[in-house]
Each structure stands twice: as structure tokens, then as C-alpha cells.
Amino acid sequence: MDDGSHLLPFKKGPFHMAQKANLDLVPVTHSGIKRLTGGLLARPGTIVMRIGPRITRHQCKDWTIDQTADFAYKQMKGMMTPVSDDVIYNTTKTRKSWLFFLAYQVVIYLAAKWVCCLFCCGHSHAHQG
């Protein structure tokens, strides 16, 4: 069960940037990503995203950065409702989709390794011998 208890305190930087740029804030939360990406490989499943009501620049123009961050934190914490494992792991996935997903992860890993080697060494080690 993902209950949203892992919401950490906010950094102040985004609130300073929004205030200086005179922008609104839009709270967005997601549930389930921690368990789908918690191991060595990411697993297929469902991530539940919620988009909250906009916090307008006019609404928080007289607030301090701390007050704005606290308001956004409380709003986002209230948006995070428990999501069951059945929803996150989406047990209707077939074996074929799991194998395709695993193959995709391996291809991404090998491509990243090839690009890193290309930039570090200047060649890809593809034609050694």
C-alpha cells in the first residue's frame, strides 16, 4: 500500500523562482513510482498522478516563501491518498509484456554503456579483434 508517507520537506528554490518569475504553482503528486523503480530494474505497472488546483501568484503574493511552501506541502499531502498494490502492480500484465519490458531495459542499458564508452574512450569497442 502506497500511503504517501514518503513526501519529504520541500526545498525553497522552486518557490523563489516562481516568485521572481511571477508564476503560478501547480501541485502534482504521484503514487507507486517508488515500488516500481525500487529494485535493480524498473518494473511495469501503474503510477497514479494527481494534479491539484493551481496556487495563483495573486493568492500567495503577500506570503513569505516559507508560508507558500507550507501551503503547497499541505495541499499535496492532502492529495496523496493510499493506492493499493493491485492498482500499482496491475496484475493483468502478460508474460509477453514483461519480457518485452525486460528486453527494453537491457537495450537501454547497453545503449547508455556504448554512449558513455564512446565519450570516455573515443571509440565504442564494437569492432575489437
Helices (H), 3-126: 13-21, 33-36, 65-79, 85-89, 95-121
Distances (CA, A) of 112 to 18, 50, 102: 34, 31, 15
- Residue 5: what pLDDT? 64
> pLDDT tens per residue, the chain (129 residues)?
555 567 888 999 999 999 999 999 999 988 777 777 766 666 777 778 889 999 999 998 899 999 999 999 999 988 887 777 777 776 555 556 767 777 888 888 888 887 776 667 655 555 554
- Residue 113: what pLDDT? 80
Q: Structural domain boundaries of the chain?
A: 1-92, 94-129
Predicted TM-score of the model (pTM): 0.61
